[in-house]
Structure 1
Amino acid sequence: MEPTVFTPVDLGPVRLRNRTVKAATFEGRAPDGQVTDALIDYHLAPARGGIGLTTVAYLAVAPEGRTHAEQIVVGEHSLAGLARLTAAVHEEGAAVAGQVGHAGPVANGRSNGVHAIAASSMPSPLSMQMIRAATEQDLTRVTRAYVDAARVLVRAGFDVLELHMAHSYLISSFLAPGLNRRKDRWGGPLERRAKLARQVARAVREEVGDAVALTAKVSVSDGFRGGVTTEEGVAFAQLLEADGHLDALQLSGGSSLMNPMYLFRGDTPVEEFAAAMPAIVRWGMKTPVGRGFMKRYAFEEAYFKEKALQFRKELAMPLMLLGGINRLETMEQAMADGFDLVAMGRAVLREPDLVNKLQAGTATQGICIHCNRCMPTIYSGTRCVEWAPEEAIRIQ
């Protein structure tokens, strides 16, 4: 008998009450790099609304790995707040994941006060600084930082750790041949470009054992020339599966640095996004390069499904389908197609209680209109402006 989306499932050592995941969407609720009541409330809403697993984003492993300064760096200083968050979510019957990562070239070095690093040097459209190529010492330090962060997050009570390997963040910048021009052991063929990802996954698994589930967010396609293609994405996923360190993969796409709308699809709120950015970035968005940053892609339900099915065909490990999932029939078809979980972002941001509505039969789909006006709110408290216009002031 095929499972339904409401059937419990084991994700590694963790039992989830159903197969729905609130995908990591940056909350904008940690202005001082600490867990706030507002951040806890943000995750309590979908937990009370029936979600099986809510994902805290974005938990940086190092100061230069933040996308910008108002972000949590995992460490002893943030442990108590993170533990308070996980305890609150658990009281509502949901599990909680922490998205663990290093932003690499997606980091705003000017905001962070330290230059960003990437596979190869490149100009930053965010800070208007040069991003430097990571050294061997950097990569050793960053790998150790992942391990240290994982240790803290296990102590804080997280059920799942999600390693961020997509969206042109540090690990993803090594995977993309257009961003990785290295001639050393970290560049060239896919096996070498994948070394950092595999090294981090192995090191974290050796640290956490079976105390938590360990997953990774990977790309079905980066959506830009020189990015990871679907063919290379499948080959990379096969390497991860063969290593045996991960309990599941979440299939995403696009690049926060090169082509963010490839992930989101739908309307492109260019003016609203520019208005929310720092002045130097607003200036950059007026340049020819900046104007081409926010490409336009029509929204369609489950827009990554066809590419994700290629992963499903070639892999045996559990997979999470992501990308424009709003309808119950889409979720059930995902189960029939062999996906183990479905991940939602905007749909649950718009309706935190969507899963309860679907399970009760009072709704068959979400009401998100994919206007993407939630995107510019990441700097003032991520929210659906249709659902909560009264929260248009900065959330502290």
Structure 2
Amino acid sequence: MWTVIISTLILSTMVIGLGIKLLTILNFLEKPNTLVWQLITVVVFLPSIYSLLSVSKLVFGNIYLYYLLAILVFYYISPAIGRLYFVLTPIVIILYLDMILQKPLPIDIPLLVFASGFLNYGATWLISFLKKPAIVKVSLAAVVMLVLERLFGYFLPAYGLHTAQGIFIATMSAIFFITAVDRFNRSLIERKEDVDDLTLQANKDELTQFYNLYHLNKDFSSRQLNRQTLAIAVIDLDYFKTVNDQHGHSMGNQVLVTFSQHLHQCLTRELGENNFELYRYGGEEFVVTIKTLKEKSMEALFDILQTSISNVDIASLDQKLSFSAGIAYLANHDFDPVKTFDIADKLLYVAKTSGREQTRIEVENIL
């Protein structure tokens, strides 16, 4: 009796620990569609499945629950990563068996291992179409896995038949695993949502809800505004200090929000939603990164923006809105956003000192 309890605790602790590790890493891992990212998911998984095979073989004389991690990832993280793990698991099993048996494997063993993997994946995939919670789907897939494990042991008696005690231990461990990991995943999702909220607060300006200076600096330093970006514009709301002094901060905030929202609407209408990014930079300054122009010149675009902004009507404000702007092209500065921004900022200063309500544009060097 004590042997069964201790064995169940050992296997349960092992799979729960491995499941929690995978959920934590894969949940917070960036998911770009790159070869490096694919390799990271493989590197994370291989030691986990090897650890599970080793512990179950050493403690129970056979291997158990070897597709449980792939099933977990399929339902809780991503079917694509889960499929990858369903491919990797039989490969690791074959290599592991070859190592512990210390003799060439007969052809029937790899065939049975891959057949078991195919059936496990097929069942997992079919169960995924059920309109049930993830914990129910994992449980059903685990039942199929346990049945196939019993058959696997039956067809390979020379390797070691799965005993009734072993099946009981594996079943209880699977139940503990599914219950614990599902609870942990729900807690992890809540924490991830909290982190996402904090990240959003750190990157968004509280007043205008557009990206702030922190996000702008992060983009400049990490992403380097790839070569698809055409130009950087620095825009300054004219006479904002006068509005603040004469009408108070409340009116000043209203003017800033109205200006930024209208600027965003105009840019969306003229460029398309995915062809620019708008940041709040400083008190009344904004930065726009422009990817492409739609059959109009940069000068024409900003004339349209200036006219549109001047038509904005704000109650209790007896002056029209206008802006000054400086624009520089990334191609002129080896696609260095920092240098480009610096030139745009200097052109903005020229526009402000030349009377405001105007845009100064760098000459584009077209090769």
Larger Rg: 2
Q: Which has the higher strand share?
A: 1
- TM-score with structure 1 setting the length: 0.25
**TM-score between both structures, scaled by the size of structure 2:** 0.26
